[in-house]
Amino acid sequence: MEIQNEPDDADDLAQDEAPPPGHAATVAIGRYLSDTLSLWRLCETARCRRRRRCMHVAPECLKACLPLLSDDVREGAVAFVQGKVEGLSYDDVMAESQDAIMAMEEWLWRIEGCPTRRTARENASSAAP
C-alpha cells in the first residue's frame, strides 16, 4: 500500500500553504502591496497620508482602495509583489506580465505626479520667511 502525499488539486495545496488572514506575513504583504500602489494617496486616514505609506489596517485599506483601480493595475501590482516574494527579478516579472506591469507603472506615474495634500503646519512653515 502506497501513501499518497500529493494533493489531488493544486488549489488545495495553495490554500494549505497560505497563512491565515491575520497572520503577520499576510499583513506585511498587504501593506507592501498598498505601499507599492501608493494607496496612501487615496486613504482617508490622515496618519497614512502624513507618513506617505500604509499605517492603518492593510486589509481594510486594500478592501476600500483596490476597487478604485482598474483590473490591469491590480494584476500588475499582484504580479510585482508575487515576483518579489518568489525572488524574481524585475525583468523576469516584466517578461511574464508586461501589460499589467506597464499599467501599474502608468498608474504610479500618474498618482506620484499629483501633489499630496498639505497640512496647515506645512502650509504655514512654507509661507514663513
**What is the arithmetic mean of pLDDT over 92-106?**
93
**pLDDT exceeding 70 applies to what percent of the chain?**
74
Cβ neighbours of 54 (radius 10 Å): 27
In a domain, 112, yes or no: yes
Taking residue 109's Cβ as centre, other Cβ atoms within 10 Å add up to: 9
Mean pLDDT along residues 104-108:
91
Q: Which residue in 59, 61, 127 sits closest to 51, CA to CA?
A: 61
Q: Distance between CA atoms of 80 and 108, rounded to whole angstroms?
A: 13
Residue 2 domain flag: no
Is residue 74 in some structural domain? yes
Residue 1 resides in a domain: no
Indicate if the pLDDT at residue 3 is higher than 50.
Answer: no
User: What does pLDDT average to over the chain?
Assistant: 76
Q: Is the pLDDT of residue 89 over 90?
A: yes
Q: Please check whether residue 115 lies inside any domain of the structure.
A: yes
Task: Evaluate whether residue 62 is within a structural domain.
Answer: yes
Q: Is the pLDDT of residue 123 over 80?
A: no
Q: What is the pTM of this model?
A: 0.65
* Between residues 12 and 30, the one the model is more confident about: 30
* Least confident residue range of 13-17, 47-51, 89-93: 13-17
Q: Is residue 97 part of a domain?
A: yes
Number of domains in the chain: 1
pLDDT at 73 over 50: yes
98-113 vs 71-86: helix crossing angle, rounded to 10:
110
| Domain span holding position 106 | 22-122
The C-alpha angle 72, 52, 69, rounded to 5 degrees, equals 20
